Structure 1
Amino acid sequence: MSTEAIVNLTRKEWTESATKAASDKVNAKESYEEQKEYSMDTDSFDDWARKNVPYFLDSYQDYLNKKDAFFNVLRQHDSAKQKDLMKKFGMLRFHWDQGDLGDGKEKGSKFIIVSYDDLERYDEIINAMYEAQRKAAQS
C-alpha cells in the first residue's frame, strides 16, 4: 500500500472515530445533565465522565489514537502539510478550550474533539469566530 493510500486510510479512520466520539459525547452529556438535575452531584462533566461513561472514554481514546496515527503517517508523506495541519489543530483546540468557538461550553474541557473536517474548514471557523467577537465588541 502506498504512503498516500495509508494517509487516506488513517484520515478516514480518524474522521470515523471523531464522529463516534462526538456522538458518544453528546449522549454522555445528556446523561450528565439528567443525572445532575436529579442529584446533588457537583462534578464537572469531565470528572463525571471519567467515573460514569466508560464507553465515551473508550471512543475518545480511540479518537486520540486515530488522530495521532494520521499525523504520524502524514509526517512521513508530507511533513510541510503535517506541520500546517498540526498548527491548525492546535489553534482550533485552543479556541474551543478558551470558549471562543461554539457555544462556549467546551471551555476548559479535556474532551475537545477536533476532526479532519474541522481542519478543512479552518479558515471558515476562525473567520466566523472573529466576526462574532467583532459583533460582540460593537454591542
Structure 2
Amino acid sequence: FAALVFDGVPASYRAVGRYALSTSWMTWPLQVPLSWLVPDGDSAIRSIEQLSSPPKLFFHSIDDDLVPMQSAITLYQHAPPPRVLQLTRGGHVQTFADPLWRQVMLRFLDDPSHFNGLRRLAEVPNYPDENNAQ
C-alpha cells in the first residue's frame, strides 16, 4: 500500500463497549464486567504497530458518539510514523459526507509528505495554489 486511511476506527472493541455501557445510568455499574464479553483479540491496537512503512491518515470526528476521541488518540499514538490524526465534525464515520474531507483524503493519497502530526479541525494541507502560481 502507498498509504492507509482510517475513519472512526476504534482502538479496542472492548473499550468501545465499556464506553457505550457507561453512557446510561442503568448500564453504568455493569460496564466493566459486561465489557469482558466483547472479544478484543482482533482490535486495531493489537496490530497497528506492525504497519510501519505506509503513511497513515486517521480521521476522527469530535462529535462521534460511538467511538470516543480517546480511542482515536490511543490508536494514533501507537501507530508508527509517518502518521496523521485529522479531527473532523459529524457523526461516526460521516467524514466523507463532506466533500472537503474527501478532497483532503485524495490529496493525502496523492502526496502524504504534505501531512504530519495532529491536525486541527478544518486544517487542510499547505499546497501551492496552481491557479495563482507566479
Using structure 2 for the length normalisation, give the TM-score.
0.32
- Write 1 or 2 for the structure with the bigger share of strand: 2
Higher helix share: 1
